[in-house]
Each structure stands twice: as structure tokens, then as C-alpha cells.
Structure 1
């Protein structure tokens, strides 16, 4: 089975000393798939997440992580106090419905002061800082999930699992 990679083209945080690592998505039900993550240096060989995870459960922006000798993310050492809300828009939506849903996610995230990263045009990962009021965004997600235009979840719906 060949490996496939999900990349973060526009990480939430950009610094001069970033590095890239990989997370194996097999423990989360995606065998043969890896997610590239952007990290900032910390201390004692640890790193700080600088992107909003698309498919990794139990991991958020600014969490402190450990890598193995091959550069694979293996452990969340310390939580950074943020949460990740993820949405997947249904395939084949009419263009005006698609624009309403994608635009609604972006505008509500922006008004809440939340960073948003997109994987393609249908999958959004939204960073909700500690104390951030996500009620409007969650209500929007709930309404559109009920209407069948998207599915959404919090990343902590499952714990992080290393390879």
C-alpha cells in the first residue's frame, strides 16, 4: 500500500524556525495515510503544534508533542488549552449551498477570532482558544448537520494514539 499525505499549506502559525513532522493516521482509521504537521521548537526535544490538525484526534494547536527518531509524532506531552472543531462539507452540494456553508464557517470563525485551516475545499479545521466562545459556530454546524450539508466533530472525541 502506498503512503498518502495530508498537508497544511497555510499553517495557523508561521515562524522562522518551524519544522515539519508526520503523524500516522492508521490509529484513527486511515491506514496508509499520514498528516504532515508544522511544529515550533520547545525544549528538551519537545515541540509545539503550530497548525490545526485535520484528522488527528486528541491534538490541538499549541499542544506540546514528542517525536520519535524518525520524525513521527508519538505523544502529546502537554495540552495547550485549545480545542479543534472540524467540519466536512458533503460532496456534490449545489454551488450556492456550498458557498453558504463554507462562507458561514469562515465568517463565524473569523468573528470569533478563531484560526481556520482548509484541507481542500470541503474540510475545515478551526482552532478554538481557551475561553473562546464557539456557541455561534456550533449552532451553525448543528443546523447544517441536521440539514445534511456537513458533518462536524471536536477533535477530542477520541484520544490521541501514537503509532
Structure 2
């Protein structure tokens, strides 16, 4: 695998994970280009755990990259900077939600608190980045109350949501 450095028209914007759910002492960070998903000049930094066989397991829940989820095994470019392919899916799914911008911060706080409560009640892992949440759904888990609450937010025009696996990974 050759090193794959995307060409950017300007300095890339980095989507980072401040508190990855799989943070460990020996994590590695690699990047995923978000241009294939309509986010030119943006890069997501993904936390990884070395599997010791040339593959790495995702140690975070992707906010933007498609086709990847927590614990999926991936391969990296020769220089170790870029995620270049999915080796083996974990069976987990990532569900993402983004609240619409608002000047009513009390309302946004209330709405996000309700979702945080449902995530905790369902015993799920999540990562937050401002108005954006990425939720890990392990195999065979369908937390209906959380999904219903998220649908209410979307129906009210307060948020949008998307499964991360609606498009394949385009490494």
C-alpha cells in the first residue's frame, strides 16, 4: 500500500475524538479522508488499537466517516497515517445524530440531556462533539426507546440522524 496523501485546496479541518470510548495506553491515531462523503478538505482522526497482525481495531465511534464502526478491523497505509480499508466488520453499527443550530441553548441542553439519558438507560457507549453524538450499537441491540426519541427530534425538525453504514468505507 502506498502512502495516500489527499490534495487539499486549503488547510484541512480535523474531526477529532476528545474522549474515545476505547481509549487505552497504547492507542494509535490514523486519518480518514472525508472528501468521498461530501466533506472536502476534512479529515477524521480515528483512534485505533494495534491487533498485532498488520490490522487495527477502531477504538472510537466514527462521527463522519462512513462504513466503519467501533471494533471494526482496518488496515493502514504504509506510513501508518491513513485508514485505507476495512478488513473485518465487528458487527457493531454507528448511529449519528446532529442537532440543528439554535440560539436557544437551554432547549438544546434539554434535548441532548434526554438523549444522553436514553443512551445511559440502554447501556450504550457514545461520543459527543458539540451538537453531534455518535452512538455504538453492538450486534443484535435495537434500543427502541432511544430510536423513538431520536425520531421525535428529527420529526420536530430539531436534528438529523444517519446510520454510518448507509455507504461503504471509501478508504
Fold conserved between structures, TM > 0.5:
yes
Alignment gaps of 5+ in structure 1: none
How far has the Cα of 1:137 moved from its partner?
A: 1.2
Gaps of 5+ in 2: 1-9
Give the root-mean-square deviation of aligned CA atoms. 1.1
Distance 1:4 1:128, change over 3 A: same
1:76-155 to structure 2, matched below 5 A, reads: 76-92=86-102, 94-119=104-129, 121-155=130-164
Deviating beyond 4 angstroms after TM superposition, the runs of 4 or more aligned structure 1 residues are none
Q: Distance in 2 between matches of 1:117 and 1:93?
A: 23
Asked if residue 50 in structure 1 is aligned to residue 50 in structure 2, the reply is no
Once the two structures are superposed, residues 1-32 of structure 1 have per-residue CA deviations (whole angstroms, 9 ceiling, x without a partner) of 21110110100112121111111001111111
- Could you say what secondary structure the match of 1:156 adopts? helix
Count of residue pairs brought into register by the alignment: 161
What is the CA–CA distance in structure 1 between the aligned matches of 2:135 and 2:103, rounded to whole Å?
21
Give deviations 1:9-64, integer Å, cap 9, x for gaps. 10011212111111100111111100001000113210000000000111000000
Tell me if structure 2 keeps the 8 A contact 1:114–1:127. Answer: yes
Residue 60, structure 1, aligned to residue 62, structure 2: no
- 1:107 is paired with a residue whose SS is helix
When residues 35 and 62 of structure 1 are mapped into structure 2, their CA distance, relative to the original with a 3 A threshold, is same
Question: How far apart are the structure 2 equivalents of 1:40 and 1:128?
Answer: 19
Q: Normalised by the size of structure 1, how large is the TM-score?
A: 0.95
Distance in 1 (CA, whole Å) between partners of 2:142 and 2:114 is 16
Tell me the distance in 2 between the aligned counterparts of 1:35 and 1:22.
Answer: 6
Which residue pairs with 2:24 in the alignment?
A: 15
Q: Is the 8 A contact 1:23 1:35 kept in 2?
A: yes
- Residues in 2 aligned to 1:93 and 1:126: alpha-carbon distance in whole angstroms: 25
